[in-house]
Structure 1
Amino acid sequence: MIYTLTLNPSIDYIINIEKFIPGNINLTKSEYKLPGGKGINVSQVLNNLQTPNTTLGFVGGFTGNFIKKSLDKKNINHDFIEVSGDTRINIKMKDSSNESEINGNSPDISTEALKKLKVKLGSLVDGDTLVLSGSVPKSISSTIYKDIMTNIPKGVKVILDAKGEALLEGIKGKPYMIKPNNHELGDIFNVKLESIEDIILYGKKLLDLGAQNIVVSMAGDGALLITPTASYISCAPKGKLINSVGAGDSLVAGFTSAIYKGLDILTAFKLGIACGSASAFSENLCTQIEVERLLQEVKTTQIVD
């Protein structure tokens, strides 16, 4: 089974207005609410790819109930741990010229809730895959991802998609794959990455720190796969960018689905690119039909060091 973990889920409240004027009353042209959080997005795409999975994490209050009911409607398995506070709400506002976000604070995660999570993760078995994805609430140590990898049963393959300190600490747990974007990779080492060679150089430094493989997403410029033995580049398929939210999570979902099914890492990389692009070219997260159409366009090239 594939399990995804979202420590910091949300309701994403997405609004569109004609032109935002600070200090005025602004009326929306359209609005909708979605269950949010990187791991939850991964689970939704896995579901669209007909890949069974269960999503884990912490939810609470009326907002947490909204997330559970939304996932139930989509037949997505979940096994959340209830907390006393309300799950946060993130506002994403788009007007004719800008896109802005206001992210809410997560509820406190108690020691008891963390113990319950440890018990759930302890029930995983050899052959399972665990996707650790997204930000860490302030009430949880930034070492949480490393701690999880240290304590889960052997034989569980871990995909890690985090940034900053949570990523650096998590790498120490030797995840099978990590997925920073090129900007996040540069931020880790406090450098500006100006070429493919720069990205590969600093990506390999993360291999030295413990990551087994790295996929570095580069938005419209495609992505890089860096392994201990070779590096590959894939250009993004052609299409009109409609919504970048969830594209990176879709890449993770496609990669994870392929690896779980026993496909080789280069095939997984290609499927991830197709999934990420399909979501970027759509208002919603990618569907299997969209992915299959784009997969034919994904080409990879090995980079000779």
Structure 2
Amino acid sequence: MIYTVTFNPAIDYIVRMDKPLDPGMTNRSVSEDCFFGGKGINVSTVLKNLGIENTALGFAAGFTGEAIVESVIKKGIISDFIMLKDGISRINVKIKSDEETEINAQGPEISQGALDELLAKLDKLEKDDILILAGSIPSSLPSNVYEIILERLESKGVIFVVDATKDLLMNVLKYKPFLIKPNNHELGEMFGTVLKTDDEIEEHAKKLQAMGARNVLISMAGDGAMLITEDGERFRVGVPKGTVKNSVGAGDSMVAGFVAGYMKTKDYRTALNMGTAAGSATAFSDDLATGELINSIYETL
């Protein structure tokens, strides 16, 4: 079974305007949308869209949390969220006019007792289960919570996938994650440099492998993606043709597509292409990509 964890899920409230935002005045929208997610939930959704059963874990609170959990269940994903007693899950406001303005909320406080409850759920994972950890850590949790989780599960043979940045990622490499997914800019920042060529990207990805990572998937926006495998192979893929509508969830979709592709074939080239197709399909959609669109793009790679 695949498990995802979303520590701080949110409702993204999208407000579209046909005029520039006028601070201090009453502004009126021309359309609105609500999207329920968070990085782990995004991964779970795309996995489900590709026909891969999975369980979404995390924390939710209040009426917004209930709505988020309900949305997960409606998608056919197994939900095992912990409902917090106080606070509400986040509502993030995204204002789209001539410019894009975001107001991201902080989210509810997560107590040590709630964290212990999550850890108890994760202790039930078994050999060859896949655990996907993605995103930042809420301020109410220990900054080393990723390390706490991986250390507890390391001896059980659980397969780790980590999509995080900087120290959050660097500090878990000692637990030998199966897959990590920095983008090329994040990879350079980890080593205090700017990476300009494929060879430089490969060189620094291999440094992360020397620190423990098994496979390094580097997303490169309009330049495609690169995979450095644990076998020392380098695979490269470009970007499919399409009109970019949305960047939210594209990286999460790439992780989901890669995991789905590898689970089905155990082939790294296939996994890279499926990951690229999934990330691109979400970028070409108003919401997270459907399985149908992902598979149609995959056929072009």
Normalising by the smaller structure, the TM-score range is over 0.9
SS state at 1:282 partner = coil
Q: TM-score, normalised by structure 2?
A: 0.95
Which position in structure 1 is the counterpart of 2:12? 12
Which position in structure 2 is the counterpart of 1:247? 250
What are the superposed Cα offsets for residues 109-163 of structure 1, whole Å, 9 maximum, x if unpaired?
1111111111111111112111111111112122211221111252211110111
SS state at 1:82 partner = strand
C-alpha distance in 2 between matches for 1:236 and 1:215? 15
Native 8 Å contact 1:174 1:211 kept in 2:
yes
C-alpha distance in 1 between matches for 2:71 and 2:295? 26
Which position in structure 1 is the counterpart of 2:295? 292
User: Is 1:149 paired with 2:150?
Assistant: yes
Native 8 Å contact 1:143 1:170 kept in 2:
no
Amino acid paired to 1:293: S
Which position in structure 2 is the counterpart of 1:301? none
Q: How many residues align?
A: 297
Amino acid paired to 2:25: N
Q: TM-score, normalised by structure 1?
A: 0.93
For 1:1-305, list aligned pairs within 5 A.
1-18=1-18, 19-83=20-84, 84-95=86-97, 97-152=98-153, 154-228=156-230, 229-298=232-301
Deviation at 1:100, TM superposition (A): 2.3
C-alpha distance in 2 between matches for 1:62 and 1:166? 30
Amino acid paired to 2:135: G
Native 8 Å contact 2:229 2:268 kept in 1:
no
What are the superposed Cα offsets for residues 226-250 of structure 1, whole Å, 9 maximum, x if unpaired?
1241211110111111111111111
C-alpha distance in 2 between matches for 1:232 and 1:123? 35
Q: More displaced, 271-280 or 192-201?
A: 192-201
Deviation at 1:272, TM superposition (A): 0.5
Deviation at 1:221, TM superposition (A): 1.0
Native 8 Å contact 1:9 1:88 kept in 2:
yes
What are the superposed Cα offsets for residues 24-68 of structure 1, whole Å, 9 maximum, x if unpaired?
221111111111210000011111111100100011111101101
Deviation at 1:256, TM superposition (A): 1.2
C-alpha distance in 2 between matches for 1:257 and 1:292? 12
Amino acid paired to 1:60: A
Deviation at 1:106, TM superposition (A): 2.3
Identity of aligned residues (%): 47
Which position in structure 2 is the counterpart of 1:302? none
Q: How much is the aligned-residue C-alpha RMSD, in angstroms?
A: 1.4
Structure 2: state its 5+ residue gaps: none
